Structure 1
């Protein structure tokens, strides 16, 4: 049985790794059950491999209790064992080979080329490349250049320093098989980088997974007895449009995983929005699918009247596709935030509940018709830059139509970018009143996020890459 001290150690380790609250409950048979307080009732009920790590954590701690593991409660060791189990379901020999390969990745990540940190893209292919798979790459505009014989990763980067900079995923990448041996190189044939081409294929899988999760949400809406018949009919039609999602999920699963080494960080992408990250020896599970779903539920399930309004709008104006608009807005915002995290750029986003019926705001309404909570300190914007968030037609820019570089620029300056839940960009470079939180203890941006979360959803991006979501002064999720 875990001691009280061990219980707290495991809890802290797992919460940092998963990014949400963990409960460790003891059962009468001297065992334990680990439950995650996933900030999404739909996601937690959604049976998929996205929640499989919780199962692995249970298995690991059970082995520890049964004295099958004789190592101390070292946080890095525990999360590494869970991560290795997540990456490999093979026998002990496979686990040993994977462990050696991961150690090689760690050693490579701290290497440099003329003082620049190593940057390498590895395409992990579970089988030798068949003609069918070769055609798969050809269709994407990627050429396979096989080596005369397979070599080990360590032999390459130890003896050929060019491998630390030439294989960055722009024009060239490594292809590694299930034995963790290098089969050859991948070379691009068109304008897009290999990294972007392969990540785009992974995003197709993420899209199908998101649709399946949203389908579960619609099912939950139908179960509510108070739902109006017109809404019930609309939701049923949406469910029909999402049919065969499970089959499409299998069809869109790419035959590879991506390993990207950059700035001494290792990201192992099982999917684009679901990957493991290793930095300074510390493992973390990055579950951006859960982030998007949690944001969707916080914005629309908490504001149920707002969601009904959106659905009714789609019923009255079928061509508007407002629900699709909101889903795509969430996906776009999540992608912005992920990119800023990977660039180690700090930012703060605040999404306020919509109290108006307008979906796209004109300039005059945005400036005079929006009433901000008293907790906000709306320092005046520079007169030279206050108009950059409006289109030529004097409409507010939205998350969907703003230029990526401009949005990142807005987010990178001091203060917060403030959106409404229709994803209009209301203002930027704004401070919030952090009264009641101690910036000296938690940091100014964290204090501001906690304070702002009294009025809506606050999302903080740290310069170390962590993403925290707050609501009602509580941290809901960290990735």
Structure 2
């Protein structure tokens, strides 16, 4: 056996920590578990994460377990070669599930390699935009009924490598109208065609995966708020906030029960159709893979990585809902449900616009005010004076509030709300150089605003001017930076908490 020195193990752990953090888009912390004997030093991986969402913990634990399984060695020596294969092995596990059969794993890796090769192909100098649906035979009915596809099966299954030797398919298999069906043996067995409906079926398939994720995140955020109130009622923690059997406790319980009833009245739609489809979509030389996992598995710029869009969803929901609930508690249950539905629609619009800006490589900053100044008499609409007061709480250079261009975010003296405008209109506002500024009710306070970093101490990180400004603007709130290369950076309380 080879005894591995502690110093080398620490170097390996630090390199692995950075490697995995880059792969998942958030900070991974790994710790060394020393177990010295005369012959060897053993080590183990432990992962810590700082988000409150229980799904984050499950996600990180899954990543840690898969990583340990891949790098495990009987002699406990470090294997630096693992860095050449770890992302490949992790990605195939995220796409298809874990597998201990090396032959099957190799076939899956080869299949993914063939798709990646297709992502670099062109037809008459135009990049391929392919769509492939992996499904079992029993799910053909679901594909036909749910999406309205007409299915044309081949005489016999064929590998995608052989199939796409017919070059016209590089153009017509666009995902929007035509998708390739892939069986459990990773062979193409037919076409799924949309001949009659004027609808982008690629977007519809992807949106089905997205709806389930955002619905789940909303449920988690609602449960978190209710649990917080229940802890107050149970007097958990260091301080007794409400005396037992007091009038205050009775009133608080009454308000909490009204609020819980209102939450139940928010009928958020969810696709309850269970399926095990996997959707492979190629656009702009990038492969994105959608399945039952919360994350999107992506291959771009020669690297595998996870796109944890659902974490972005949760951060938006958490930020907005945890600040808006005080208004909901003043409403009747039926009004809570309606307003919560409006809030959900607004968050969905904002989230979709962030995704749109990223896919179009449009540089943008979206930031929230900390709401230290607020009007407790109004939940939704705000006027110019209220907007001006809120903008005074964030580090912006002077805004000329009478500027003509600001009329684009007003209607009859009131500021527009994200939920009441189209995604295209919001995208246009976000595309203007500067920051789009929102309150937690999703009112648009201003756009094209310049963040004033003149009082900022030198940052420990060196990014572009816009990214540093976004980091500074998030010190008391939440801010999101979309870069020209499509990357998304999320900052909360002055820290970079998520990269996509």
* TM-score over 0.5 for the pair: yes
Three-state SS of the structure 1 residue aligned to 2:167 is coil
Q: Report if aligned partners of 1:314, 1:322 keep a CA contact under 8 Å in 2.
A: no
- Residue 353 of structure 2 corresponds to residue 336 of structure 1: yes
Secondary structure at 1:7's aligned position in 2? helix
Say if 1:181 and 1:317 are closer, same or farther in 2 by CA, change over 3 A: closer
Say whether the 8 Å CA contact 1:42–1:217 is kept in structure 2: no
Residue 394 of structure 2 corresponds to residue 359 of structure 1: no
SS at match of 1:178: coil
The answer on 1:140 being equivalent to 2:140 is no
RMSD (CA atoms): 3.1
Q: Take 1:447 and 1:381, find their aligned partners in 2: how far apart are those partners?
A: 25
5+ residue gaps, structure 1, are none
> SS of 2:351's equivalent?
helix
Structure-2 residue corresponding to 1:268: 289
What residue in structure 1 maps to residue 39 of structure 2? none
Match of 1:448 in 2: 469
Of residues 323-332 and 456-465 in structure 1, the stretch that sits farther from structure 2 once superposed is 323-332
Show CA shifts across 1:403-442 (max 9, x none). Answer: 1111111111210100011100111001101233469931
Are 1:187 and 2:211 counterparts?
Answer: no
Equivalents in 1 of 2:387, 2:226: separation in Å? 39
Indicate the residue corresponding to 2:444 in structure 1.
425
Contact map agreement 1:346 1:461 (CA 8 A) in 2: yes
Does the C-alpha gap of structure 1 residues 266 and 207 become closer, same or farther in structure 2, counting only changes over 3 Å?
same
Using a 3 Å threshold, how does the CA distance of structure 1 residues 338 and 38 change in structure 2: closer, same or farther? farther
What's the counterpart of residue 403 of structure 1? 422
The 1-side partners of 2:497 and 2:218 are apart by: 22
How far does residue 120 in structure 1 lie from its aligned partner after superposition?
0.5
Q: Does the aligned pair in 2 maintain the 1:18–1:284 contact within 8 Å?
A: yes
Q: Which residue of 1 aligns with 2:15?
A: 9
Offset, 1:211: 4.4
Change (3 A) 1:448 1:82: same
Query: Structure 2 unaligned runs (5+)?
Result: 36-41, 236-240, 243-251
**1:224-263 equivalence runs, <5 A:** 224=232, 225=235, 226=241, 228-234=252-258, 236-237=260-261, 251-263=272-284
Asked whether 1:285 is paired with 2:306, we answer yes
**Distance across 1 between alignment mates of 2:260 and 2:399:** 47
CA 1:312 to 1:101, structure 2 compared with 1: closer, same or farther past 3 Å? same
- SS of residue matched to 1:223: helix
Secondary structure class of the residue paired with 1:442 = coil
Larger radius of gyration: 2
| CA deviation vs aligned residue, 1:272-324 (integer Å, no higher than 9, x gap) | 963111112211111222222223334454xxxx4441331334763663333
SS of the aligned residue for 1:253 comes to coil
Give the TM-score normalised by structure 2.
0.83
Equivalent residue for 2:38?
A: none
Map of 2:66 onto structure 1: 56
Distance 1:285 1:372, change over 3 A: same
Aligned pair partner of 1:460 in 470, 473, 481: 481
Q: CA deviation at 1:64?
A: 8.8
Q: Which residue of 2 aligns with 1:43?
A: 55
Is 2:170 the counterpart of 1:164? yes
Check the 8 A contact 1:260/1:268 in 2, yes or no. yes
Deviation at 1:396, TM superposition (A): 1.7
Question: Post-superposition shift, 1:70?
Answer: 5.5
2:326 to 309, 329, 332: 309
Greater alpha carbon shift after TM alignment, 412-421 vs 165-174: 165-174
CA contact (8 A) 1:366 1:396 kept: no
